[in-house]
Structure 1
Amino acid sequence: MLRGLYTAAAGLITQQRRHDTVTQNIANLNTPGYKQETAVQRSFPEMLVAMTGGYADNPNRTVGRLNTGVFAEESLSPYVQGPLKQSGQTTDFALVSDIIVNDPATGQPVRFDPSGKYVDANGQVTYKPEAFFTVRDETGNVRYTRDGHFKLDGLGTLRTSTGSEVLDAVGNPITLTGAVKDLKVNGQGELLNGDHMPTGITLGISIIDQPYQLVREGDGNFRLDTQSGATARRLQAGDNVELKQGYLEGSNVDATQSMVDMMAAQRAYESNQRVVQFYDASLDKAVNQVGRV
């Protein structure tokens, strides 16, 4: 009986975390560059149940397999392109990324699924590389973001909306000497002067080959998980990445699907709650009524 109570309690915790994840997505519907999270639910390892008593001449003592509930193992973020919104601000930037990867076996471009994943005939998984702005937070650590809602501080340093320094292609902070209206950037991220000529400064755009290995840190920033083998490289000629000035990439959260997921999590939570109440009533009867006899 207690095993069933533990299973229902595990379901309660899992649905609560699922509900919290969906709530976070809905709260960031209007956050530029936000990538939604999806809670991955998995079952605990099954147990093989066997008889400990019974007839001694019975060679088959196996009863069957027993599932002990589910748990929220992790949260994954599909790094698909969000919709572009024109803001008209010269300090707003959006990345349009569609990097092509060739299959080593066939030499043909890989066709990724809507989540940015491709599985070949041998079961080898390939993730679609994605482009990110390179920034440096207040502690001096390099981070990556898709939030291109930048601003200029009093010293002319280009910063993110949360105060991180925007880095150039060689890892230095970008500091401008002109007014905001003089900030011009072409599609490759090169800063232009008043004559629309390159100034030699390029926005730091990094390509993450394994975006699913990024660790979310908050404020729209991600960091590399070096232990997982994730790597970042500079934008190269031939990468199908375009920088659009005066635009912002919107959140890729599906509002309709998020509401459906929230209602499903609520209904599943209520079901597990009723199971806990049933076990509580059964234990109460076993202790206070049956045990009294």
Structure 2
Amino acid sequence: MFRGFYTVATGMIAQQRRTELLSNNITNANTPGYKADQSTIRSFPDMLMSRMTKSGTNLESGLNTTANNQIGALNAGVYMQETLPDYSQGQITATDLTTDVALVDNQLPTDAETGAKGAIFFRLEHPTEGETYTRNGNFTLDPQGYLTNAQGLYVLSDRGQRIQLQNDDYQIMDDGRIIGAGEQEVARIGVSYAAQPDTLQKQDNGLYRTYNGEDLPSAYTVNGVSFNLKQGYIERSNVDASKTMTEMLTAYRAFEANQKVLQAYDRSMDKAVNEIGKV
């Protein structure tokens, strides 16, 4: 019976964590470039239980041998194994703002082992060292004319340098080149490619970073990668609000069902202690 307590408790914890994940997706449904998190729930490995008994055979040393009688398998509950972002393209929406840029995926290679597609990101300068990445192209110009994101991180060029503009009178071409006054090319917006995006570390504010701190390769130089940039557009979150709400209700019902089983165990224990114990 006590094992039942633990099994039900693991189910409640897993569904609670899943509800928190889905709630975070709903909260960021209107965040530009946000990638919805997905979860996988698995059961712990089953344990094979057996009962050890004396066989009754005496050895020359005077010791008795033992025999194992298999009782059966015991499930130890479930757990939320991992959370992985869904890197599929969000809807591209027009904003008519010069500083807004959207990444449009055209063709991305597929990993031969996992079958998952790669992903492309804008390059940003990390506050401490190296680079960080985002799909949120809601950029702006700081007082010095540098192109930054909403958190003030500098947008990097394809050469890894900060992009400084004289004013907001510029044009971003489909291939990422920024054309300023006098039809002069100022820089090219840096875009990086992740062959295995599931290995990236997701951080706050829609930012991603490699676990080892190494920079991702430039998407402009990777064979098989095709994309374009659209100025005056923004990529919306890929969260499906109606589907996420349905999944939240399912997780809540599963949590509620586990809760009722736990209450039934509690009533049984109460009778065992207070009623049967008096006999």
TM-score by length of 2: 0.90
Alpha-carbon deviations, 1:77-132, whole Å to 9, x = none?
A: 1100111000000000000113343xxxxxxxx6xxxxxxx6x6xxx324311110
Does the 8 Å contact 2:120/2:194 carry over to 1? yes
C-alpha distance in 1 between matches for 2:108 and 2:247: 32
Counterpart position of 2:60: none
Per-residue CA deviations over 1:44-65 (Å, capped at 9, x if unaligned) read 1110111234987997722222
2:203 corresponds in structure 1 to 217
Question: What are the ranges of 5 or more consecutive residues in structure 1 without an aligned counterpart?
Answer: 102-109, 111-117
Cα distance in 1, alignment partners of residues 56 and 242 from structure 2: 59
Q: Which amino acid aligns with 1:83?
A: Q
Change (3 A) 1:146 1:56: farther
Task: Report the counterpart of residue 198 of structure 1 in structure 2.
Answer: 185
Asked if 1:208 is matched to 2:228, the reply is no
Q: Does 1:12 align with 2:12?
A: yes
Q: CA deviation at 1:198?
A: 2.3
SS at match of 2:263: helix
Residue in structure 1 matching 2:219, options 232, 235, 239:
235
Summarize the Cα distance change of 1:37–1:172 in structure 2 as closer, same or farther, 3 Å threshold. same
Q: Is the 8 A contact 1:137 1:163 kept in 2?
A: no
**What do the CA deviations read for 1:11-69 (whole angstroms, capped 9, x no partner)?**
11000000000000011111000000012111111101112349879977222221111
Q: TM-score, normalised by structure 1?
A: 0.86
Which one has a bigger Cα radius of gyration? 2
**Superposed displacement of residue 152, structure 1:** 0.6
Choose which of 54, 59, 81 in structure 2 pairs with 1:73. 81
Pairing 1:289–2:278 present = no
SS at structure 2 position matched to 1:274: helix
Measured in 2, the distance between the counterparts of 1:231 and 1:127 equals 21
Any conservation in 1 of the 2:192–2:217 contact (CA below 8 Å)?
yes
The alpha carbon displacement at 1:2 in A equals 0.7
Q: Return the letter of the residue paired with 1:79.
A: Y
TM-superposed CA distance for 1:286, in Å, is 1.3
C-alpha displacement at 1:226, in angstroms?
2.9
Q: Which residue of 1 aligns with 2:175?
A: 188
The size of the alignment, in residue pairs, is: 269
Q: Is the 8 A contact 2:146 2:162 kept in 1?
A: yes
Within 1, Cα distance between the matches of 2:193 and 2:106?
A: 11
Shift of 1:141: 4.0
Task: Tell me the residue number matched to 1:106.
Answer: none
What is the DSSP-based 3-state SS (H/G/I as helix, E as strand, rest coil) of the residue aligned with 1:26? Answer: helix
Aligned runs of 1:88-237 on 2, under 5 Å? 88-101=96-109, 124-177=113-166, 179-180=167-168, 182-199=169-186, 201-226=187-212, 232-236=216-220
2:7 is aligned with what amino acid?
A: T
Find the aligned partners of 2:42 and 2:262 in 1 and give their Cα distance: 20
Unaligned runs of 5+ in 2: 58-65
Structure 2 counterpart of 1:84: 92
- State which drifts further: 249-258 or 61-70: 61-70
Describe the shift of the 1:141–1:262 C-alpha distance in structure 2 as closer, same or farther (beyond 3 A): same
Q: Which amino acid aligns with 1:49?
A: M
User: CA-atom RMSD, angstroms?
Assistant: 2.1
Equivalents in 2 of 1:128, 1:60: separation in Å? 50
Shift of 1:260: 1.1
Paired residues of 2:124 and 2:133 also in contact (CA < 8 A): yes
56 and 25 in structure 1: CA distance in 2 versus 1, 3 angstrom threshold: farther
Query: For the structure 1 residues 282 and 76, does the alpha-carbon distance in structure 2 shift closer, same or farther, using more than 3 Å as the test?
Result: same
Contact residue 214 and residue 223 of structure 1 kept, 8 A: yes
Letter in 1 for 2:247: D
Q: Give the Cα separation in 2 of the matches to 1:46 and 1:175.
A: 59
Matched, 1:51 2:58: no
Q: Secondary structure at the match of 2:30?
A: coil
